[in-house]
A and B are shown apart, each in its own frame.
Chain A
Amino acid sequence: DGGITQSPKYLFRKEGQNVTLSCEQNLNHDAMYWYRQDPGQGLRLIYYSQIVNDFQKGDIAEGYSVSREKKESFPLTVTSAQKNPTAFYLCASSIARQTLDQPQHFGDGTRLSIL
């Protein structure tokens, strides 16, 4: 079945530690996105990538880093510079075609907490 796989489901970070969240898709989508969701809030864009080896900062990129070495994969690293990392992290993908009917499809998310 085609879809987006995020791992792990739950992740705990110690002070001063970098952690990496995995996102893999087999939908053959060009574009991939990372969002952060805090309790009772909407989604805020961290980074997005429309093509391999290229990515752009979203609205809240500070303290995060990404790479896009393969079309299928868009890992997110939460660095120690991100002082409030506790949140629900969602990865999404879409066809990067310049049309109006291109929804984003989401993985199941990763819950990150501080130890």
Chain B
Amino acid sequence: QKEVEQNSGPLSVPEGAIASLNCTYSDRGSQSFFWYRQYSGKSPELIMFIYSNGDKEDGRFTAQLNKASQYVSLLIRDSQPSDSATYLCAVNAGGTSYGKLTFGQGTILTVHP
């Protein structure tokens, strides 16, 4: 079983819709969770992070964390064609490995006009 698994894509949504990206992780001791966006041919850029159960909102983006279910998601409201990219989920196990992230394989999102 992969340590960090993302829903298989590609995911296609119409402009203005809500895009939902999901991520599960196997290490129950994982402490913080990061979402990165990666445009084709470019490096990843941080969208947001979360470490407490519940929702965290930043503009059109909402991260949701459920540690009991070992599940983290990213919602993108009012999706725009410029949101089309690969979204990477990353998990920090904490402890002596603080700072070290484990990445999922990514979900490709396409927002069509």
Contacts and interface: CB of A to CB of B under 8 A. Distances in A.
Chain B interface size range = 20 to 34
A93 to B, nearest CB: 10
Which applies to chain A's interface (DSSP): helix, strand, loop or mixed?
Answer: loop
Given A40-B105, A99-B98, 12 more contacts: A40-B106, A41-B105, A41-B106, A43-B90, A48-B99, A58-B100, A97-B98, A104-B99, A104-B101, A105-B46, A106-B43, A109-B43
A103 B49 contact: yes
Contacts of A42: 4, 88, 103-106
Contacts of B105: 40-42
B64 interface: no
Interface in A33-73: 33, 35, 40-45, 48, 50, 58
A40 B99 CA distance: 24
Contact of B99 (A31, A41, A107): A31
A81 interface: no
Interface in A16-31: 31
Contact of A102 (B45, B99, B102, B106): B99
Interface residues of A, number: 29
A92 B108 CA distance: 22
Nearest to B98: A98
A61 B90 CA distance: 20
Interface in A72-108: 90, 94-108
A107 B43 contact: yes
Contact of A96 (B46, B98, B106): B98
Contacts of B42: 108-109
